[in-house]
Structure 1
Amino acid sequence: MKCIVTGGAGFIGSHLTDRLLEEGHEVTVVDNLSGGQFRFIEHHVTNPEFSFVNEDLARDGLISSAFEGADMVYHLAANPDVRSGVTDTRTPLTQNTIATFNVLESMRAAGVRKIAFTSTSTVYGEAEVIPTPENYGPLMPISLYGASKLACEAMISAYCHTFDMQSWIYRFANIIGSRGTHGVIFDFIGRLRKDPSKLTILGNGRQSKSYLHISDCVDGMLFAVRNSNAPVNIFNIGSDDRFDVTGIARAVASEMGLENVEFEYTGGDRGWKGDVPFMTLSIAKLKALGWKPVHNSEESVRLCVRELLREV
C-alpha cells in the first residue's frame, strides 16, 4: 500500500512512518520541517520504499502532486502547541484547518479516498462526563487549537459524505515518548537540568489527565483502520486512567535521580487559558474491537522520561 504521512518528520508522524515501513508499505512523508525534524526520519533515506517531499501544506490554494497514486493518507501535519493560541491566534487556523482543507482538496484531485486524521481530546472542552465517550456533546472546545481541530473533523466528515471518501479520526489523550519536543515532561526535564533544586509548576499541580506512550498510540491508530469500516470512524485513543502534574514532577525528578526538589506552584486550577485541567477519555469503543494499551499513564510517563533523558 502506498501511504502519505503528512507531518511525518514530527513526533507522532515519524513513529508512524517507522511502523508503516516495517510493515512493508511504501511511505511518502510530506513535511515542511517547521515543527518536525528530518533527523527523525533520515535513517530511512536509503530505503527505496521511502520518499520525502518538503512542502508547506498550508500554502494558499495548494493542490499537492505528492498525493497522486496514494492509497491512504495519514494526516498528522499541524501545529501541536495548544498554548501558542493564547498569543498567536492565526497559526491554529492556517497550520491546522487550512492545511487540512488543502490535504482534502489534494486527495480529491488525485482520487485518493481514505484518510486517517489525528485530532485531539481538546475538542471536548471541559466535558461534564469523564471518562468522555466519542458521542459526548455538544463539543465546545476552550482553546483555539481544539477549535481548529474540530473544524478539521467537520470538513473531513463533509468530504467523506460529499465525495465518497472514508476517514478514521483519532481523538488523542496526551501522547508522549521518544522524539517529543514540547510538553510538560520535556519542560520539566529542561528546567531541572538548569536548576536541580527547584521546579516551578503551572497551576496548582492537581491538573490530572490521561497519558499514552507513543508505541501504544501507533498501535491504536493502525488497529482502528484495520478493524472499522464506516464512512467516518471516530475513536478516542488514550489510557484508562490519569496522572496529575505533581505526580509527573515527582516521576521526572525520580528518574533523574534527584532528591528534595522544591516544587513551586503558580496557582489557579489550570496552567494557562485554554488548558483543560481534567481529562480522561473513554476508550471503551476501541477496546470493544479488541485493542487495549500496554502502558497506563504513570508507566507511559516514566518510560517517556527515560527515553527523553537519552535524547535531550
Structure 2
Amino acid sequence: MELRNQRILITGGAGLIGSQLAKRLADANEIRIVDDLSNGIADSLPDEVEVVEGDITDESVVADVVTEDVDAVFHLAADKYVNTDRPREQMEVNETMTYNLLERMDEVGVDNILFTSSSTVYGEAPRPTPEDYAPLEPISVYGVTKLAEEGLLSVYAHSHDFTVWNFRFANIVGPRYGAGVIPDFVYKLTQDPESLTILGDGRQEKSYMHVDDCVDAMCHVVEHATGSMNTFNLGTRTTTSVTRIADIVSEEMDVDPEYEYTGGDRGWTGDVPKMRLSIEKLAALGWEPSLSSDESVRQGVRDVLSDPENEPHLSV
C-alpha cells in the first residue's frame, strides 16, 4: 500500500506513536484521528489533522469515524498497562475496540488495517525471538489481550479478505512519553537527585526502540509487505538493562544517585525480565534501525527532558 493520497484513520492517534505517525503521514495523506485523550495530547498533532475525541468501545463512535471513504485504519488505541490492576476491564476494553473496528470496516468495505501488538505475546521465550516462535504463552493479561486481538485480525485476513499489518513491538521510547521506566526515573530524580529506587534487581534487560525508528519501520512494512496477514517484530538488535537506563538518565540529568533495588528478577508480576526480538524478517524486507537500544534510551531521555509538556504527565 502506497502511503500517499490515502484517507487514514488512526485510533489512539494522540499518543506517543500515533502522534509521530500522524506527523509523518499528514503531508501526503488525509488523516483522521480518534482518541479519548485519556493518555494522548491533542495539541501535539499537526493542524491539518482531523481530531475526533471519542471512545471506540462505543459502536456509535466507530460508526462515525470508520466511513466508506477511509482507505485504511491504523489501530493503535489500547489499554497499554502491562501491570494493570484492572485485568478484566483491560481484556474487555481491548477486545471490544478491535472487534468494533473490524465489524464496522467489514460493513463499509474498508479492508486495510495496521495493528500495534506487543512483544508480550511471546511470554518468556528464547532470545532473539522470531515471529514464528511457538507456543505463544504470554504471562500478563496485557499480552493475552494482544494475542486475542491478533486472533481476530487473522480471522478477518483469512476469511474476509482483509490486509493486516501486525506489529509486535519492543519497548518504544520518545517525546511525550508519559509512562514507563524513563519518565519514572526522570520524575524520581527530579524529586530526589540523591537516591533512586529501581524495581527488581536492575538486571532486567530488554530492547528499546526510538519512536522515530518505530514509525519509519511501520511505514516501510506497510509499503512493502503484501501478504494478507503480515506479522513483523519491531525492535533493535541490542538490549539495555534497567540499571543501565538509570545510569543514562543520571548522566543526562547530571546527578549521581545511590541506587536502591526492591529485589527479585522482575519489576512486577507479569513482567518479562529478558526480551530481545529477532528483526531478521524486517531486515529481509530492507529495513534496519538507525539507533541501538542504548542510543534509543539516551534519545528518549533527552526527549523527555527537553519537552516542557512532559512534566505533568510523568509516571510516578
Same fold (TM over 0.5): yes
CA distance in 1 between counterparts of 2:141 and 2:277 reads 20
- CA distance in structure 1 between the aligned counterparts of 2:124 and 2:260, rounded to whole angstroms: 26
Question: For residues 64-88 of structure 1, what are the alpha-carbon distances to aligned partners after superposition, in whole Å with 9 as ceiling and x for unaligned?
Answer: 231111111100000111111xx21
- Off by >4 Å, runs of 4+ in structure 1: 60-63
- In 2, Cα distance between the equivalents of 1:109 and 1:54? 23
Q: Which runs of 5+ in 1 are unaligned?
A: none
Are the equivalent residues in 1 in contact too, given 2:54–2:61 (CA < 8 A)? Answer: no
Separation of aligned partners in 1, 2:94 and 2:76: 9
Query: How many Å separate the matches in 1 of 2:59 and 2:259?
Result: 46
Amino acid at match of 1:182: A
Look up the match of 1:96: 94
Contact 1:62–1:106 (Cα < 8 Å) also in 2: no
Structure 1 counterpart of 2:279, one-letter code: I
Aligned length: 302
Instruction: Report if the CA contact (8 A) 1:177-1:304 is conserved.
Output: yes
- How far 1:25 moved relative to its partner? 0.5
Alignment of 1:125-274 (within 5 A): 125-127=123-125, 129-259=126-256, 261-274=257-270
Distance change (3 Å), C-alpha of 1:111 and 1:165: same
What's the CA shift for 1:61? 7.5
Are 2:29 and 1:25 aligned? Answer: yes
Aligned equivalents of 1:226, 1:30: Cα separation in 2:
23
CA–CA distance in structure 1, aligned partners of residues 63 and 159 of structure 2? 21
1:37 matches 2:34: no
Quick one: distance in 2 between partners of 1:92 and 1:15?
25
Q: How does 1:32-71 map to 2 (within 5 A)?
A: 32-41=36-45, 44-45=46-47, 47=48, 50-59=49-58, 63-68=62-67, 69-71=69-71
| Matched-pair contact (CA < 8 Å) for 1:172–1:236 | yes
In structure 1, the partner of 2:296 is: 300
1:176, distance to aligned residue in structure 2 (A): 0.2
Q: Distance in 2 between matches of 1:36 and 1:81?
A: 14
1:150 Cα deviation after fit: 0.5
Q: What secondary structure sits across from 1:83 in the alignment? A: coil
Amino acid aligned to 1:300: S
Q: Offset of 1:91 from its aligned partner?
A: 3.0
Amino acid at match of 2:172: I
Gap runs ≥5 in structure 2 = 1-5, 312-316
What is the alpha-carbon distance in structure 2 between the residues aligned to residue 26 and residue 60 of structure 1?
23
Matched with 1:13 is 18
Q: Which amino acid aligns with 1:20?
A: L
Which amino acid counterpart does residue 79 of structure 1 have in structure 2? D
Residue 279 of structure 1: aligned partner? 275
Helix, strand or coil for the counterpart of 1:90?
helix
C-alpha distance in structure 1 between counterparts of 2:216 and 2:59, whole Å:
34
Residues of 1 paired with 2:223 and 2:210: CA distance? Answer: 20
Report the TM-score when normalising by structure 2. Answer: 0.93
> 8 Å contact 1:63–1:109 — kept in the other structure?
no
Comparing 62-71 with 169-178, greater Cα deviation is found at: 62-71
What is the RMSD computed on CA atoms of the aligned residues?
A: 1.1
Paired letter, 1:71: D
Paired residues of 1:177 and 1:308 also in contact (CA < 8 A) = yes
TM-superposition CA deviations, 1:107-160 (whole Å, max 9, x none): 112210100000000000010x20000000110100010000100000001011
The alpha-carbon distance between structure 1 residues 303 and 130, as it changes in their structure 2 partners (threshold 3 A), is same
Give the Cα–Cα distance (whole angstroms) in 2 for the partners of residues 141 and 232 of structure 1: 21
Report how far residue 62 of structure 1 moved. 6.1
Q: Distance in 2 between matches of 1:178 and 1:54?
A: 22
Change in 2 beyond 3 A, CA 1:10/1:96: same
Aligned mates of 1:163, 1:62 — CA distance in 2: 23
CA contact (8 A) 1:58 1:94 kept: no
